Amino acid sequence: MADRATIQFNDVTLELPVIVGSEQERGLDIAALRAKTGAVTIDQGFGNTASTTSAITFLDGEKGILRYRGIPIEELAEKSTFVETSYLLIYGKLPSKTELADFSRLLTRHSMIHEDMKRFFEGFPGTAHPMAVLSSMVAALSSFYPEAIDIKNREVIDITIARLLAKVRTIAAFAFKKSIGQPFIYPRNELSYCANFLNMMFAVPAEQYPMDDDAVKALNLLLILHADHEQNCSTSTVRLVGSAQTNLFASISAGVCALWGPLHGGANQEVMEMLDQIHESGESVDKWIARAKDKNSNFRLMGFGHRVYKNFDPRAQIIKRSADTILKRFGINDPKLDIAKRLEEVALKDQYFIERKLYPNVDFYSGIIYRALGIPTNMFTVMFALGRLPGWIAHWKEQIESPTARIGRPRQIYTGPTLNHYVGMEQRA
Ligand code: ACO
C-alpha cells in the first residue's frame, strides 16, 4: 500500500504528499501547511526536517552507512584519491582517465594566490586562529575574481570551483607558515594535490621536505573521509547562504565559519586538547568519564556522539585502524592514542553512553594522525575545512542548478512581548 499522510488541525484536514528517496527514505511535504491551516511546524535543531532533496551523499545513521554518489566510503578510502573523490562529489560520477587528468591539471594551474593577497597575511596578528585567517581569505578571493558573481555561467562556475580547491590548500599552508614566522613556500606543479600541501606546510627555503608516500596516503585518506556528510551544520550554512544566489567564495567562507564551532569541525582540536589535558592530569580515564556524565560539570567527551550516527560512525572506524598503522610506520609511540582507546573502551561499556547511543565520531582519532603528520592542533579544523570543501561545493552547485530552488527563509514562533508602546525617558521606572 502506498504511504499516506494526513494532518488534522482543528477542523482542517490536509493530505500531505510523501516524497520517497532512492533509498526509500520518506519525507512529508508540508509546503501547503501554512496556507491551508495557518500553522507552521517547529523542529529545534532540525532533527526531523529535510531542508532539501539531494543526490550527493547517502547516510544511514542507524546502520552506519555513508556513500558518496552511491559508492561506499570504505571503497573510496581504500581505492580513491582526494582529487578523484572531489570530482565524484562535484560532477556526480567517477572521472574518466582524461577527465581526471584535466581536473588535476586545472587544480595545479590555479594553486598560486595573487601576490597582493599574500600581503593580507601580514595584517593578521601572529596569534590569529588559522580558521579566522581561512574564512577571511576565502571571502577575499571574491574580490580578486569578481566574475564569480555570475553564478548562472557554467564556465565561470567550473573555474571558480578549480580556484577554490587549488587555492584554499595554499591559503591553509600560508596561514600555518605565518603563525610560525616562516617564509611562504610556493606550490610546486610536479607534486600531487596532497604532496603539494605537505610541501607548502613543511619545506623551508633552506631545505627540501623529504616527501613520504605514507604521509601523502594518510592525508588523502583523511580528506576523503571528511569530504561530505550531507546536510550537516556547515553544509546547510553554505546552502542557506548560496540560496540567496551568493557567489561560491562567499558561501564557502560562511561554511568555514560554521565549521569552526566546537560542536562541529572544531571538535577535532578540542579532542586533542582534551587528550593532552587527561594525559597531563595523570588522573584515571574513569574519572574523566565520570566527569563527562556529571550534569553539574560542563565537561563533555569531545569526539563522542553524533546527531545522526546512533550505532557507529564508519569514518571513525577507518581512522582508528589507520591511526595504528601510521603511528607504527612513523615509529611514534603516542600515549594519547592509548588514552583515546581506553576512553572509547570504558565509554562503550557504560550505561550512560549506551543509553544515549554515544559513539566515537570522525574527530575522535583524526587528530592523532594529523599530529603524527606534524600538523599542529590549531590547524586541525583547517584540515577538516580542506577535506569538506568538495562537499560544500557540490551542495552549492546542486542548489544553484536546481530549477526548484528557493531562497532559504525559515519561519519562527514569536515568544516576545505583545504590543507594547514607547515610553519617554522621564516616565521610565
Ligand atoms: N559527552 C557526554 N555526554 C554527551 C555527549 C558527549 N560528547 N554528547 C551528547 N551527550 C549527552 C547529552 O548531555 C544529552 O544527555 P541528556 O539526554 O541526559 O540531556 C544526550 O547525550 C543527547 O545529546 P545532545 O547534545 O542533545 O545531542 P545532539 O544530537 O544535539 O548533539 C553532538 C550531537 C553536538 C555531536 C554532541 O554529541 C556533542 O556535543 N558531542 C561532542 C562534540 C563533538 O564531538 N562534535 C563533533 C560532531 S561530528 C562533526 O561535526 C564532524
Cα(262) to centroid of ligand 1, in Å? 11
Q: Where are the alpha helices (DSSP H) in 243-350?
A: 248-260, 267-281, 285-293, 314-329, 335-349
Residue 234 C-alpha cell reads as 556547515
DSSP 62: T
Angle at 128 between CA 122 and CA 133, to 5 degrees: 70
Helix, strand, coil tally for the chain in percent (to 5): 55, 5, 40
CB 224 within 8 A of CB 76: yes
Q: From CA 317, how far away is CA 15, in angstroms rounded?
A: 43
Query: Ligand 1: which atom is nearest the Cα of residue 47?
Result: 29
Residue 282: the pLDDT is 93
Query: Ligand 1: which atom is nearest the Cα of residue 264?
Result: 50
Helix 267-281 vs helix 363-372: crossing angle, to nearest 10: 80
Residue 334: the pLDDT is 84
CB 372 within 8 A of CB 334: yes
Q: Is 306 a catalytic residue?
A: yes
Residue to mutate, 225, 256, 293, 306, ligand 1, most ligand atoms under 8 Å from C-beta: 306
Nearest CA residue ID for atom 41, ligand 1: 302
Beta bridge partners of 204: 207
Residue to mutate, 43, 225, 301, ligand 1, most ligand atoms under 8 Å from C-beta: 301
Q: From CA 186, how far away is CA 287, in angstroms rounded?
A: 47
Q: From CA 49, how far away is CA 65, in angstroms rounded?
A: 20
Cα(101) to centroid of ligand 1, in Å? 42
Nearest CA residue ID for atom 22, ligand 1: 356
Residue 2: the pLDDT is 82
110, 306, 313, 395: which one is catalytic? Answer: 306
Q: From CA 177, how far away is CA 122, in angstroms rounded?
A: 11
Residue to mutate, 43, 299, 300, 362, ligand 1, most ligand atoms under 8 Å from C-beta: 300
110 lines ligand 1 (CB under 6 A): no
CB 233 within 8 A of CB 261: yes
Cα(414) to centroid of ligand 1, in Å? 27
The per-residue pLDDT string of the chain (429 residues; one tens digit each, 9 = 90 and over) reads 789 999 999 999 999 999 999 999 999 999 999 999 999 999 999 999 999 999 999 999 999 999 999 999 999 999 999 999 999 999 999 999 999 999 999 999 999 999 999 999 999 998 899 999 999 999 999 999 999 999 999 999 999 999 999 999 999 999 999 989 999 999 999 999 999 999 999 999 999 899 999 999 999 999 999 999 999 999 999 999 999 999 999 999 999 999 999 998 988 889 999 999 999 999 999 999 999 999 999 999 999 999 899 888 999 999 988 888 888 888 888 888 889 889 999 999 999 999 999 999 988 889 889 999 999 999 999 999 999 999 999 999 999 999 999 999 999 999 999 999 999 999 998
Cα(413) to centroid of ligand 1, in Å? 25
Cα(412) to centroid of ligand 1, in Å? 25
Residue to mutate, 358, 366, 383, ligand 1, most ligand atoms under 8 Å from C-beta: 358
110, 226, 313, 363: which one is catalytic? Answer: 363
263 lines ligand 1 (CB under 6 A): yes
With b for 16 or more beta-carbon neighbours within 10 A and e for fewer, the 125-161 pattern comes to: eeebbbbebbbbbbbbbbeebeebbebeeeebbebbb
Residue (of 69, 174, 157, 43) closest to 111 by Cα position: 174
Residue 319 C-alpha cell reads as 581512522
Strands 26-28 and 18-20: antiparallel
Look up the pTM and report it. Answer: 0.93
Q: Is 363 a catalytic residue?
A: yes
354 lines ligand 1 (CB under 6 A): no
Helix (H) or strand (E) run with residue 12 in it = strand 12-16
Cα(306) to centroid of ligand 1, in Å? 6
Query: Ligand 1: which atom is nearest the Cα of residue 232?
Result: 50
Residue 397: the pLDDT is 98
Residue 338 C-alpha cell reads as 592509548
Residue 317 C-alpha cell reads as 572506524
CB 127 within 8 A of CB 186: no
Residue 319: the pLDDT is 92
Cα(388) to centroid of ligand 1, in Å? 21
